[in-house]
A and B are shown apart, each in its own frame.
Chain A
Amino acid sequence: MNLGDAAIVLRPRSLTEVMDLAFRLCFSLAFSLYARLTLVAIVPLLAGCLALRYALDASWLLVWLAAFLTVPFVEALFTVAVSQIIFSPSITPRAVFALFCKRFGALLGSFVVRIVGLVIGVVTFLVLLPFVGIRLLLLDEACMLEGLSGMRAYERAQRLVASRTGDAFLVLLMLLGARFGGVLTAELLFDGLVNDLLQFGRPFGWFFHDGGSLAALAGFFLAVPFVSTARFLYYIDTRTREDGWDIQLRFTAIRARAAQERRRAA
Protein backbone atom coordinates (compact mmCIF):
# COMPACT_ATOMS: atom_id res chain seq x y z
CA MET A 1 0.00 0.00 0.00
CA ASN A 2 1.53 3.29 -1.12
CA LEU A 3 0.09 6.17 0.89
CA GLY A 4 1.25 8.63 -1.74
CA ASP A 5 -1.06 6.94 -4.26
CA ALA A 6 -4.17 7.36 -2.12
CA ALA A 7 -7.14 8.70 -4.06
CA ILE A 8 -8.25 10.78 -1.07
CA VAL A 9 -6.38 13.38 0.94
CA LEU A 10 -5.10 11.69 4.10
CA ARG A 11 -5.63 13.92 7.13
CA PRO A 12 -7.57 13.70 10.39
CA ARG A 13 -11.24 14.48 9.71
CA SER A 14 -14.37 15.17 11.72
CA LEU A 15 -17.15 12.56 11.54
CA THR A 16 -19.34 14.75 9.33
CA GLU A 17 -16.40 15.16 6.95
CA VAL A 18 -15.99 11.38 6.86
CA MET A 19 -19.67 10.98 5.94
CA ASP A 20 -19.48 13.74 3.30
CA LEU A 21 -16.39 12.19 1.76
CA ALA A 22 -18.06 8.76 1.69
CA PHE A 23 -21.04 10.30 -0.07
CA ARG A 24 -18.79 11.94 -2.66
CA LEU A 25 -16.71 8.82 -3.20
CA CYS A 26 -19.79 6.63 -3.76
CA PHE A 27 -21.08 8.90 -6.51
CA SER A 28 -17.78 9.78 -8.19
CA LEU A 29 -14.70 7.57 -8.20
CA ALA A 30 -16.39 4.41 -6.90
CA PHE A 31 -19.63 4.75 -8.83
CA SER A 32 -18.75 2.59 -11.81
CA LEU A 33 -17.27 -0.28 -9.78
CA TYR A 34 -20.09 -0.11 -7.24
CA ALA A 35 -22.69 -0.25 -10.01
CA ARG A 36 -21.09 -3.39 -11.44
CA LEU A 37 -20.73 -5.01 -8.01
CA THR A 38 -24.35 -4.15 -7.26
CA LEU A 39 -25.42 -5.98 -10.40
CA VAL A 40 -23.42 -9.11 -9.64
CA ALA A 41 -23.77 -9.25 -5.84
CA ILE A 42 -26.70 -7.22 -4.55
CA VAL A 43 -29.28 -7.88 -7.29
CA PRO A 44 -29.03 -11.72 -6.97
CA LEU A 45 -29.27 -11.44 -3.18
CA LEU A 46 -32.31 -9.20 -3.46
CA ALA A 47 -33.83 -11.65 -5.93
CA GLY A 48 -33.16 -14.51 -3.51
CA CYS A 49 -34.88 -12.67 -0.65
CA LEU A 50 -37.86 -11.85 -2.87
CA ALA A 51 -38.05 -15.47 -4.03
CA LEU A 52 -38.15 -16.49 -0.38
CA ARG A 53 -41.09 -14.16 0.12
CA TYR A 54 -43.11 -14.69 -3.05
CA ALA A 55 -42.16 -18.21 -4.23
CA LEU A 56 -41.82 -19.90 -0.86
CA ASP A 57 -44.42 -17.71 0.85
CA ALA A 58 -42.13 -16.91 3.79
CA SER A 59 -43.13 -14.20 6.26
CA TRP A 60 -41.47 -10.76 6.05
CA LEU A 61 -39.81 -11.50 9.39
CA LEU A 62 -38.02 -14.48 7.87
CA VAL A 63 -37.10 -12.46 4.76
CA TRP A 64 -35.59 -9.66 6.87
CA LEU A 65 -33.71 -12.26 8.92
CA ALA A 66 -32.23 -13.68 5.71
CA ALA A 67 -31.28 -10.15 4.61
CA PHE A 68 -29.62 -9.38 7.96
CA LEU A 69 -27.65 -12.62 7.84
CA THR A 70 -26.37 -12.10 4.30
CA VAL A 71 -25.66 -8.37 4.43
CA PRO A 72 -22.32 -8.68 6.36
CA PHE A 73 -20.88 -10.63 3.42
CA VAL A 74 -21.94 -7.97 0.92
CA GLU A 75 -20.53 -5.26 3.19
CA ALA A 76 -17.22 -7.14 3.35
CA LEU A 77 -17.16 -7.31 -0.46
CA PHE A 78 -17.69 -3.55 -0.72
CA THR A 79 -15.06 -2.96 1.98
CA VAL A 80 -12.54 -4.77 -0.20
CA ALA A 81 -13.76 -2.77 -3.20
CA VAL A 82 -13.37 0.64 -1.57
CA SER A 83 -9.90 -0.23 -0.25
CA GLN A 84 -8.89 -1.17 -3.79
CA ILE A 85 -10.35 2.03 -5.23
CA ILE A 86 -8.39 4.19 -2.80
CA PHE A 87 -5.04 2.46 -2.73
CA SER A 88 -4.62 0.36 -5.86
CA PRO A 89 -4.27 1.63 -9.39
CA SER A 90 -6.14 -1.18 -11.18
CA ILE A 91 -9.65 -2.00 -10.12
CA THR A 92 -11.92 -4.64 -11.59
CA PRO A 93 -14.85 -6.51 -10.03
CA ARG A 94 -12.97 -9.73 -10.78
CA ALA A 95 -9.99 -8.57 -8.68
CA VAL A 96 -12.34 -7.54 -5.88
CA PHE A 97 -14.03 -10.94 -5.91
CA ALA A 98 -10.64 -12.71 -5.97
CA LEU A 99 -9.52 -10.82 -2.84
CA PHE A 100 -12.88 -11.44 -1.21
CA CYS A 101 -12.71 -15.18 -1.90
CA LYS A 102 -9.15 -15.29 -0.52
CA ARG A 103 -10.38 -14.00 2.83
CA PHE A 104 -13.74 -15.80 2.82
CA GLY A 105 -12.68 -18.37 5.44
CA ALA A 106 -11.57 -15.62 7.83
CA LEU A 107 -14.77 -13.75 7.09
CA LEU A 108 -16.80 -16.78 8.18
CA GLY A 109 -14.87 -16.75 11.46
CA SER A 110 -15.61 -13.07 12.02
CA PHE A 111 -19.24 -13.73 11.08
CA VAL A 112 -19.42 -16.21 13.97
CA VAL A 113 -17.85 -13.61 16.29
CA ARG A 114 -20.44 -11.08 15.10
CA ILE A 115 -23.34 -13.49 15.73
CA VAL A 116 -22.00 -14.30 19.23
CA GLY A 117 -21.76 -10.56 19.91
CA LEU A 118 -25.31 -9.98 18.76
CA VAL A 119 -26.60 -12.89 20.86
CA ILE A 120 -24.85 -11.40 23.92
CA GLY A 121 -26.47 -8.06 23.13
CA VAL A 122 -29.92 -9.59 22.80
CA VAL A 123 -29.59 -11.84 25.86
CA THR A 124 -28.74 -8.80 28.01
CA PHE A 125 -31.97 -7.10 26.87
CA LEU A 126 -30.05 -4.85 24.45
CA VAL A 127 -28.16 -3.19 27.33
CA LEU A 128 -24.80 -4.44 26.05
CA LEU A 129 -25.70 -4.10 22.37
CA PRO A 130 -24.14 -0.60 21.92
CA PHE A 131 -20.90 -1.76 23.56
CA VAL A 132 -20.81 -4.90 21.42
CA GLY A 133 -21.67 -2.82 18.33
CA ILE A 134 -18.75 -0.45 18.97
CA ARG A 135 -16.31 -3.31 19.37
CA LEU A 136 -17.53 -4.99 16.19
CA LEU A 137 -17.62 -1.77 14.16
CA LEU A 138 -14.28 -2.25 12.36
CA LEU A 139 -14.30 -6.07 12.33
CA ASP A 140 -14.55 -6.23 8.51
CA GLU A 141 -11.53 -3.96 8.12
CA ALA A 142 -9.47 -6.00 10.60
CA CYS A 143 -10.48 -9.24 8.91
CA MET A 144 -10.52 -8.35 5.20
CA LEU A 145 -7.79 -5.70 5.02
CA GLU A 146 -5.37 -6.54 7.82
CA GLY A 147 -5.55 -10.29 7.23
CA LEU A 148 -6.57 -11.28 10.76
CA SER A 149 -8.98 -14.06 11.63
CA GLY A 150 -11.57 -14.82 14.31
CA MET A 151 -10.67 -13.58 17.79
CA ARG A 152 -7.50 -11.81 16.60
CA ALA A 153 -9.59 -9.76 14.21
CA TYR A 154 -12.00 -9.00 17.05
CA GLU A 155 -9.16 -7.90 19.34
CA ARG A 156 -7.71 -5.69 16.62
CA ALA A 157 -11.15 -4.17 15.88
CA GLN A 158 -11.51 -3.47 19.60
CA ARG A 159 -8.08 -1.78 19.75
CA LEU A 160 -8.91 0.38 16.74
CA VAL A 161 -11.91 1.96 18.47
CA ALA A 162 -10.47 1.95 22.01
CA SER A 163 -9.12 5.51 21.93
CA ARG A 164 -12.22 7.04 20.33
CA THR A 165 -15.17 5.14 21.79
CA GLY A 166 -17.51 8.16 21.68
CA ASP A 167 -16.79 8.77 17.99
CA ALA A 168 -17.20 5.06 17.25
CA PHE A 169 -20.63 5.13 18.90
CA LEU A 170 -21.63 8.14 16.78
CA VAL A 171 -20.43 6.37 13.62
CA LEU A 172 -22.46 3.33 14.64
CA LEU A 173 -25.56 5.52 15.00
CA MET A 174 -24.88 7.29 11.68
CA LEU A 175 -24.49 4.00 9.84
CA LEU A 176 -27.66 2.67 11.45
CA GLY A 177 -29.36 5.89 10.34
CA ALA A 178 -28.01 5.40 6.80
CA ARG A 179 -29.43 1.87 6.66
CA PHE A 180 -32.80 3.00 7.98
CA GLY A 181 -32.65 6.03 5.67
CA GLY A 182 -32.09 3.70 2.71
CA VAL A 183 -35.18 1.65 3.62
CA LEU A 184 -37.32 4.74 4.21
CA THR A 185 -36.20 6.62 1.10
CA ALA A 186 -36.68 3.64 -1.21
CA GLU A 187 -40.10 2.89 0.25
CA LEU A 188 -41.36 6.47 -0.03
CA LEU A 189 -39.92 7.04 -3.51
CA PHE A 190 -41.33 3.77 -4.83
CA ASP A 191 -44.72 4.37 -3.20
CA GLY A 192 -44.81 7.95 -4.49
CA LEU A 193 -44.17 6.72 -8.02
CA VAL A 194 -46.23 3.51 -8.18
CA ASN A 195 -49.09 4.29 -5.82
CA ASP A 196 -49.51 8.05 -5.91
CA LEU A 197 -48.40 8.93 -9.44
CA LEU A 198 -49.23 5.83 -11.51
CA GLN A 199 -52.17 4.79 -9.26
CA PHE A 200 -51.22 1.07 -9.38
CA GLY A 201 -51.77 0.63 -5.66
CA ARG A 202 -49.25 -1.31 -3.60
CA PRO A 203 -48.64 -4.59 -5.47
CA PHE A 204 -45.39 -5.38 -3.58
CA GLY A 205 -46.61 -4.56 -0.08
CA TRP A 206 -46.30 -1.47 2.11
CA PHE A 207 -43.48 -1.47 4.63
CA PHE A 208 -45.46 0.45 7.27
CA HIS A 209 -48.41 -1.98 7.05
CA ASP A 210 -46.97 -5.36 6.08
CA GLY A 211 -43.58 -5.03 7.77
CA GLY A 212 -41.73 -5.30 4.48
CA SER A 213 -41.86 -4.58 0.76
CA LEU A 214 -39.76 -4.93 -2.36
CA ALA A 215 -38.71 -1.27 -2.21
CA ALA A 216 -37.77 -1.38 1.48
CA LEU A 217 -35.66 -4.49 0.93
CA ALA A 218 -33.99 -2.91 -2.10
CA GLY A 219 -33.28 0.24 -0.07
CA PHE A 220 -31.74 -1.87 2.69
CA PHE A 221 -29.33 -3.53 0.27
CA LEU A 222 -28.62 -0.38 -1.73
CA ALA A 223 -27.43 1.38 1.44
CA VAL A 224 -24.63 -1.20 1.71
CA PRO A 225 -22.11 0.59 -0.59
CA PHE A 226 -22.46 3.83 1.37
CA VAL A 227 -22.28 2.07 4.75
CA SER A 228 -19.13 0.16 3.76
CA THR A 229 -17.49 3.28 2.30
CA ALA A 230 -18.26 5.44 5.34
CA ARG A 231 -17.00 2.77 7.73
CA PHE A 232 -13.83 2.25 5.71
CA LEU A 233 -13.14 5.99 5.65
CA TYR A 234 -13.61 6.07 9.43
CA TYR A 235 -11.04 3.26 9.62
CA ILE A 236 -8.67 5.28 7.41
CA ASP A 237 -9.22 8.29 9.67
CA THR A 238 -8.40 6.19 12.73
CA ARG A 239 -5.23 4.86 11.12
CA THR A 240 -4.25 8.36 9.97
CA ARG A 241 -4.54 9.63 13.54
CA GLU A 242 -2.89 6.62 15.21
CA ASP A 243 -0.12 5.99 12.70
CA GLY A 244 0.38 9.58 11.54
CA TRP A 245 -0.15 8.76 7.87
CA ASP A 246 -0.43 12.45 7.00
CA ILE A 247 2.88 13.13 8.81
CA GLN A 248 4.49 10.23 6.97
CA LEU A 249 3.36 11.72 3.64
CA ARG A 250 4.85 15.11 4.50
CA PHE A 251 8.12 13.56 5.65
CA THR A 252 8.26 11.42 2.50
CA ALA A 253 7.82 14.58 0.41
CA ILE A 254 10.67 16.28 2.32
CA ARG A 255 12.94 13.30 1.68
CA ALA A 256 11.99 13.16 -1.99
CA ARG A 257 12.75 16.88 -2.39
CA ALA A 258 16.12 16.46 -0.68
CA ALA A 259 17.02 13.50 -2.90
CA GLN A 260 16.06 15.50 -5.98
CA GLU A 261 18.25 18.42 -4.87
CA ARG A 262 21.16 16.05 -4.24
CA ARG A 263 20.77 14.57 -7.73
CA ARG A 264 20.63 18.03 -9.24
CA ALA A 265 23.75 19.09 -7.34
CA ALA A 266 25.60 15.95 -8.46
Chain B
Amino acid sequence: MAEQARRLQPIDTTAEIETPEHVRFHYPVAGPARRVVAWALDWLIRGAVLLLFAFIALLGGLAVGDAVSGLSTGFLLVILFLLEWGYYTLWEVAWNGRTPGKRALDLRVVSVHGHPLRTGDSFLRNLLRAADFLPLGYAIGLVVMARDSRFRRLGDMVAGTMVIVEERRAVASALRIDPPPTPKELASLPQRLPLSGDELEAIELFLRRKEGLGPAREEELAAMVAPLFASRMGIRNKDSARLLALLHARASERRRPL
Protein backbone atom coordinates (compact mmCIF):
# COMPACT_ATOMS: atom_id res chain seq x y z
CA MET B 1 0.00 0.00 0.00
CA ALA B 2 2.78 2.38 1.01
CA GLU B 3 4.59 1.35 -2.15
CA GLN B 4 1.59 2.34 -4.24
CA ALA B 5 1.28 5.69 -2.49
CA ARG B 6 4.93 6.35 -3.18
CA ARG B 7 4.41 5.65 -6.87
CA LEU B 8 1.37 7.90 -7.04
CA GLN B 9 3.23 10.93 -5.77
CA PRO B 10 6.68 11.12 -7.29
CA ILE B 11 9.23 13.22 -5.45
CA ASP B 12 9.97 16.67 -6.82
CA THR B 13 11.48 19.94 -5.68
CA THR B 14 8.27 21.94 -6.03
CA ALA B 15 5.54 22.87 -3.57
CA GLU B 16 1.89 23.06 -4.46
CA ILE B 17 -0.21 25.82 -2.95
CA GLU B 18 -3.98 25.83 -3.24
CA THR B 19 -5.84 29.12 -2.86
CA PRO B 20 -9.29 29.32 -1.20
CA GLU B 21 -10.67 29.50 -4.77
CA HIS B 22 -9.07 26.08 -5.42
CA VAL B 23 -6.52 27.53 -7.84
CA ARG B 24 -3.27 25.58 -7.59
CA PHE B 25 0.17 27.14 -7.94
CA HIS B 26 3.45 25.28 -8.16
CA TYR B 27 6.50 26.95 -6.66
CA PRO B 28 10.02 25.56 -7.03
CA VAL B 29 11.31 25.34 -3.45
CA ALA B 30 14.93 26.08 -2.60
CA GLY B 31 16.89 23.22 -1.10
CA PRO B 32 20.26 23.14 0.62
CA ALA B 33 22.34 23.57 -2.58
CA ARG B 34 21.03 27.07 -3.34
CA ARG B 35 20.51 28.11 0.25
CA VAL B 36 24.08 27.27 1.27
CA VAL B 37 25.42 29.54 -1.51
CA ALA B 38 23.02 32.35 -0.49
CA TRP B 39 24.07 31.93 3.15
CA ALA B 40 27.77 32.05 2.15
CA LEU B 41 27.20 35.33 0.27
CA ASP B 42 25.41 36.86 3.27
CA TRP B 43 28.20 35.62 5.54
CA LEU B 44 30.78 37.36 3.35
CA ILE B 45 28.76 40.60 3.43
CA ARG B 46 28.43 40.43 7.22
CA GLY B 47 32.17 39.75 7.49
CA ALA B 48 32.94 42.75 5.31
CA VAL B 49 30.71 45.02 7.44
CA LEU B 50 32.34 43.77 10.62
CA LEU B 51 35.80 44.38 9.14
CA LEU B 52 34.79 47.89 8.21
CA PHE B 53 33.67 48.65 11.75
CA ALA B 54 36.83 46.99 13.12
CA PHE B 55 38.87 49.34 10.96
CA ILE B 56 36.90 52.35 12.24
CA ALA B 57 37.42 51.16 15.84
CA LEU B 58 41.13 50.71 15.15
CA LEU B 59 41.42 54.24 13.77
CA GLY B 60 39.49 55.55 16.79
CA GLY B 61 41.82 53.64 19.11
CA LEU B 62 44.90 55.02 17.38
CA ALA B 63 43.59 58.57 17.54
CA VAL B 64 42.49 58.58 21.17
CA GLY B 65 44.86 56.07 22.74
CA ASP B 66 44.60 53.08 25.09
CA ALA B 67 41.86 54.71 27.15
CA VAL B 68 39.19 53.63 24.67
CA SER B 69 40.46 50.09 23.89
CA GLY B 70 37.72 48.51 26.03
CA LEU B 71 35.16 50.78 24.40
CA SER B 72 36.31 49.72 20.91
CA THR B 73 35.95 46.03 21.81
CA GLY B 74 32.51 46.67 23.25
CA PHE B 75 31.51 48.64 20.16
CA LEU B 76 32.62 45.75 17.92
CA LEU B 77 30.74 43.20 20.03
CA VAL B 78 27.56 45.27 19.70
CA ILE B 79 28.03 45.37 15.91
CA LEU B 80 28.66 41.62 15.87
CA PHE B 81 25.49 41.03 17.91
CA LEU B 82 23.42 43.23 15.59
CA LEU B 83 24.79 41.51 12.51
CA GLU B 84 24.19 38.08 13.96
CA TRP B 85 20.61 38.70 15.10
CA GLY B 86 19.38 41.61 13.03
CA TYR B 87 20.91 41.24 9.57
CA TYR B 88 18.50 38.64 8.17
CA THR B 89 15.32 40.07 9.73
CA LEU B 90 16.19 43.59 8.62
CA TRP B 91 16.81 42.61 4.99
CA GLU B 92 13.90 40.20 4.80
CA VAL B 93 11.50 42.85 6.07
CA ALA B 94 12.95 45.61 3.89
CA TRP B 95 13.20 43.50 0.73
CA ASN B 96 10.05 41.42 1.11
CA GLY B 97 11.63 38.11 2.08
CA ARG B 98 15.03 38.60 0.55
CA THR B 99 18.58 39.20 1.77
CA PRO B 100 21.39 40.19 -0.62
CA GLY B 101 22.48 36.53 -0.79
CA LYS B 102 18.96 35.31 -1.49
CA ARG B 103 18.46 38.06 -4.06
CA ALA B 104 21.60 36.96 -5.92
CA LEU B 105 20.28 33.40 -6.04
CA ASP B 106 16.66 34.41 -6.89
CA LEU B 107 15.32 33.14 -3.58
CA ARG B 108 12.49 34.60 -1.52
CA VAL B 109 11.00 33.69 1.83
CA VAL B 110 7.20 33.45 1.72
CA SER B 111 4.57 32.00 4.01
CA VAL B 112 3.57 28.36 3.40
CA HIS B 113 0.40 29.68 1.77
CA GLY B 114 2.43 31.73 -0.69
CA HIS B 115 1.72 35.08 1.00
CA PRO B 116 4.42 37.73 1.55
CA LEU B 117 6.58 37.36 4.67
CA ARG B 118 5.41 39.21 7.80
CA THR B 119 7.82 40.90 10.23
CA GLY B 120 6.90 38.58 13.09
CA ASP B 121 7.46 35.48 10.96
CA SER B 122 10.81 36.76 9.77
CA PHE B 123 11.87 37.49 13.36
CA LEU B 124 10.78 34.02 14.48
CA ARG B 125 12.49 32.09 11.67
CA ASN B 126 15.73 33.98 12.24
CA LEU B 127 15.55 33.62 16.01
CA LEU B 128 15.50 29.86 15.55
CA ARG B 129 18.53 30.00 13.27
CA ALA B 130 20.57 29.32 16.43
CA ALA B 131 18.70 26.03 16.98
CA ASP B 132 19.18 25.02 13.34
CA PHE B 133 22.89 25.73 13.62
CA LEU B 134 23.44 23.16 16.40
CA PRO B 135 25.79 21.40 17.02
CA LEU B 136 27.68 23.20 14.27
CA GLY B 137 27.41 24.11 10.59
CA TYR B 138 23.57 24.04 10.55
CA ALA B 139 23.68 20.25 11.03
CA ILE B 140 20.20 20.03 12.63
CA GLY B 141 18.77 22.45 10.08
CA LEU B 142 20.11 20.37 7.20
CA VAL B 143 18.75 17.10 8.55
CA VAL B 144 15.32 18.64 9.23
CA MET B 145 15.35 20.24 5.77
CA ALA B 146 16.14 16.93 4.09
CA ARG B 147 13.18 15.23 5.78
CA ASP B 148 10.69 17.94 4.81
CA SER B 149 8.99 17.98 1.41
CA ARG B 150 9.34 21.78 1.25
CA PHE B 151 12.96 21.90 2.47
CA ARG B 152 11.99 23.82 5.62
CA ARG B 153 14.42 24.10 8.51
CA LEU B 154 13.19 24.34 12.13
CA GLY B 155 12.86 28.13 11.94
CA ASP B 156 10.70 27.87 8.81
CA MET B 157 8.47 25.23 10.38
CA VAL B 158 7.82 27.28 13.49
CA ALA B 159 7.28 30.54 11.57
CA GLY B 160 5.18 28.86 8.86
CA THR B 161 7.48 29.96 6.05
CA MET B 162 9.38 28.40 3.15
CA VAL B 163 12.04 29.58 0.71
CA ILE B 164 11.04 29.53 -2.94
CA VAL B 165 12.99 30.04 -6.15
CA GLU B 166 11.71 32.90 -8.26
CA GLU B 167 12.53 31.75 -11.74
CA ARG B 168 13.21 34.51 -14.22
CA ARG B 169 10.98 33.46 -17.05
CA ALA B 170 11.23 35.20 -20.36
CA VAL B 171 8.30 35.03 -22.77
CA ALA B 172 8.96 32.00 -24.97
CA SER B 173 9.93 32.95 -28.49
CA ALA B 174 7.60 31.89 -31.28
CA LEU B 175 8.40 28.47 -32.70
CA ARG B 176 9.73 28.50 -36.25
CA ILE B 177 8.90 25.56 -38.41
CA ASP B 178 11.48 24.60 -40.93
CA PRO B 179 10.54 24.38 -43.80
CA PRO B 180 7.56 26.73 -43.21
CA PRO B 181 4.13 25.12 -43.73
CA THR B 182 2.80 25.46 -47.26
CA PRO B 183 -0.79 26.60 -47.90
CA LYS B 184 -1.50 23.13 -49.33
CA GLU B 185 -0.33 21.43 -46.12
CA LEU B 186 -2.39 23.78 -43.96
CA ALA B 187 -5.44 23.32 -46.16
CA SER B 188 -5.43 19.60 -45.36
CA LEU B 189 -5.95 20.38 -41.64
CA PRO B 190 -9.30 21.25 -40.07
CA GLN B 191 -9.82 24.92 -39.16
CA ARG B 192 -10.70 24.08 -35.57
CA LEU B 193 -8.36 21.41 -34.19
CA PRO B 194 -9.92 18.74 -31.97
CA LEU B 195 -6.99 18.96 -29.51
CA SER B 196 -7.08 19.74 -25.80
CA GLY B 197 -4.86 22.33 -24.11
CA ASP B 198 -2.76 19.52 -22.60
CA GLU B 199 -2.21 17.97 -26.02
CA LEU B 200 -1.18 21.28 -27.58
CA GLU B 201 1.20 21.89 -24.67
CA ALA B 202 2.77 18.45 -25.15
CA ILE B 203 3.20 19.11 -28.90
CA GLU B 204 4.86 22.46 -28.16
CA LEU B 205 7.19 20.84 -25.61
CA PHE B 206 8.17 18.26 -28.22
CA LEU B 207 8.79 20.88 -30.93
CA ARG B 208 10.88 23.08 -28.63
CA ARG B 209 13.08 20.16 -27.60
CA LYS B 210 13.29 18.17 -30.84
CA GLU B 211 16.61 19.70 -31.92
CA GLY B 212 18.34 18.03 -28.97
CA LEU B 213 16.71 14.64 -29.44
CA GLY B 214 18.33 13.22 -32.53
CA PRO B 215 16.40 12.21 -35.69
CA ALA B 216 15.57 8.62 -34.71
CA ARG B 217 14.31 9.54 -31.25
CA GLU B 218 12.42 12.51 -32.68
CA GLU B 219 10.57 10.24 -35.08
CA GLU B 220 9.97 7.62 -32.38
CA LEU B 221 8.38 10.15 -30.04
CA ALA B 222 6.32 11.84 -32.75
CA ALA B 223 5.03 8.44 -33.89
CA MET B 224 3.56 7.91 -30.42
CA VAL B 225 0.81 10.49 -30.93
CA ALA B 226 0.76 11.62 -34.57
CA PRO B 227 -1.25 8.60 -35.87
CA LEU B 228 -3.74 9.16 -33.07
CA PHE B 229 -4.25 12.81 -33.96
CA ALA B 230 -4.36 12.00 -37.69
CA SER B 231 -7.10 9.42 -37.25
CA ARG B 232 -9.02 11.80 -34.99
CA MET B 233 -8.98 14.44 -37.74
CA GLY B 234 -9.35 12.00 -40.62
CA ILE B 235 -6.14 13.08 -42.33
CA ARG B 236 -3.14 11.16 -43.69
CA ASN B 237 0.02 10.87 -41.58
CA LYS B 238 3.09 10.59 -43.81
CA ASP B 239 5.64 12.24 -41.55
CA SER B 240 4.81 12.20 -37.83
CA ALA B 241 7.14 15.02 -36.71
CA ARG B 242 5.99 17.20 -39.59
CA LEU B 243 2.33 16.59 -38.75
CA LEU B 244 2.89 17.73 -35.16
CA ALA B 245 4.64 20.86 -36.44
CA LEU B 246 1.72 21.60 -38.77
CA LEU B 247 -0.80 21.11 -35.97
CA HIS B 248 1.13 23.56 -33.84
CA ALA B 249 1.29 26.05 -36.71
CA ARG B 250 -2.47 25.84 -37.20
CA ALA B 251 -3.12 26.23 -33.45
CA SER B 252 -0.77 29.26 -33.27
CA GLU B 253 -2.48 30.77 -36.30
CA ARG B 254 -5.83 30.63 -34.50
CA ARG B 255 -4.35 32.07 -31.30
CA ARG B 256 -2.65 35.01 -33.08
CA PRO B 257 -4.42 38.34 -32.39
CA LEU B 258 -6.11 39.96 -35.37
What sequence of 0s and 1s flags, for each residue 48-63 of chain A, a beta carbon within 8 Å of any chain B beta carbon? 0000000000000000
Segment 1-41 of B: residues with Cβ below 8 Å from A: 3, 6-7, 10-14, 28, 30-34, 37
Q: Which A residues lie within 8 Å of B88 (CB)? A: none
Q: In the complex the two chains form, is B224's CB within 8 Å of A255's CB?
A: yes
Q: In the complex the two chains form, is A244's CB within 8 Å of B213's CB?
A: yes
Q: Which A residues lie within 8 Å of B198 (CB)? A: 250, 254
Q: In the complex the two chains form, is B147's CB within 8 Å of A21's CB?
A: no
In this complex, the interface size class of chain A, counting residues with CB under 8 Å from chain B, is 35 or more
CB A141 to nearest CB in B, in angstroms, measures 19
With both beta carbons as reference points, the residue of chain A lying nearest to B151 in the complex is identified as A20
B11 contact from A25, A163, A246, Cβ within 8 A: A25
What sequence of 0s and 1s flags, for each residue 174-212 of chain B, a beta carbon within 8 Å of any chain A beta carbon? 000000000000000000000000110110011001001
> Which of the segments A2-10, A73-81, A113-121 contacts the partner chain?
A2-10
A5 contact from B7, B11, B202, B212, Cβ within 8 A: B7
What sequence of 0s and 1s flags, for each residue 106-141 of chain B, a beta carbon within 8 Å of any chain A beta carbon? 000000000000000000000000000001110100
In this complex, the interface size class of chain B, counting residues with CB under 8 Å from chain A, is 35 or more
B143 within 8 A of A: yes
A185 within 8 A of B: yes
Main SS at interface, chain B: helix
Q: In the complex the two chains form, is B146's CB within 8 Å of A27's CB?
A: yes
Q: In the complex the two chains form, is B135's CB within 8 Å of A189's CB?
A: yes
CB B34 to nearest CB in A, in angstroms, measures 5
A128 within 8 A of B: no
Q: Which A residues lie within 8 Å of B143 (CB)? A: 27
Report the separation of the CA atoms of residues A246 and B225 in the bound assembly, to the nearest whole angstrom: 14
Q: In the complex the two chains form, is A19's CB within 8 Å of B33's CB?
A: yes
Q: In the complex the two chains form, is B11's CB within 8 Å of A248's CB?
A: no
Q: In the complex the two chains form, is A185's CB within 8 Å of B224's CB?
A: no
A258 contact from B139, B206, B213, B228, Cβ within 8 A: B228
Q: In the complex the two chains form, is B206's CB within 8 Å of A8's CB?
A: no
Report the separation of the CA atoms of residues A174 and B10 in the bound assembly, to the nearest whole angstrom: 25
Q: In the complex the two chains form, is A7's CB within 8 Å of B202's CB?
A: no
Q: In the complex the two chains form, is B11's CB within 8 Å of A21's CB?
A: yes
Q: Which A residues lie within 8 Å of B213 (CB)? A: 242-244
Q: In the complex the two chains form, is A185's CB within 8 Å of B139's CB?
A: yes
Q: In the complex the two chains form, is B32's CB within 8 Å of A20's CB?
A: yes
What sequence of 0s and 1s flags, for each residue 236-253 of chain A, a beta carbon within 8 Å of any chain B beta carbon? 000001111011101110
Given A23-B31, A23-B32, A26-B146, A247 and B6 contact (CB-CB distance below 8 Å)? no
Q: In the complex the two chains form, is B31's CB within 8 Å of A9's CB?
A: no
Q: In the complex the two chains form, is B3's CB within 8 Å of A243's CB?
A: no
Report the separation of the CA atoms of residues A247 and B202 in the bound assembly, to the nearest whole angstrom: 7
Q: In the complex the two chains form, is B221's CB within 8 Å of A244's CB?
A: yes
B65 within 8 A of A: no
Q: In the complex the two chains form, is B135's CB within 8 Å of A17's CB?
A: no
A29 within 8 A of B: yes
Q: Which B residues lie within 8 Å of A242 (CB)? A: 212-214, 217
Segment 9-33 of A: residues with Cβ below 8 Å from B: 9, 13, 15-17, 19-21, 23-29
Given A19-B31, A20-B32, A163-B212, A255 and B12 contact (CB-CB distance below 8 Å)? no
A203 within 8 A of B: no
A193 within 8 A of B: yes
Q: In the complex the two chains form, is B31's CB within 8 Å of A24's CB?
A: yes
Given A5-B7, A242-B212, A248 and B224 contact (CB-CB distance below 8 Å)? yes
A172 within 8 A of B: no
CB B223 to nearest CB in A, in angstroms, measures 9
Shortest beta-carbon contacts, A-B, top 5 = A20-B31, A27-B146, A19-B33, A9-B12, A16-B33
Chain B residues at the A interface, C-beta cutoff of 8 Å: 3, 6-7, 10-14, 28, 30-34, 37, 135-137, 139, 143, 145-147, 149, 151, 198-199, 201-202, 205-206, 209, 212-214, 217, 221, 224-225, 228, 232
Chain A residues at the B interface, C-beta cutoff of 8 Å: 5-9, 13, 15-17, 19-21, 23-29, 89, 163, 174, 185, 188-189, 192-193, 241-244, 246-248, 250-252, 254-255, 258
List 26 A-B residue pairs with CB atoms under 8 Å apart, sorted by A's residue number: A6-B10, A7-B10, A7-B11, A17-B28, A20-B151, A21-B31, A24-B151, A27-B147, A29-B6, A174-B33, A185-B137, A188-B137, A189-B136, A243-B213, A244-B209, A244-B221, A247-B205, A247-B209, A248-B221, A250-B198, A250-B202, A251-B206, A251-B224, A254-B228, A255-B228, A258-B228
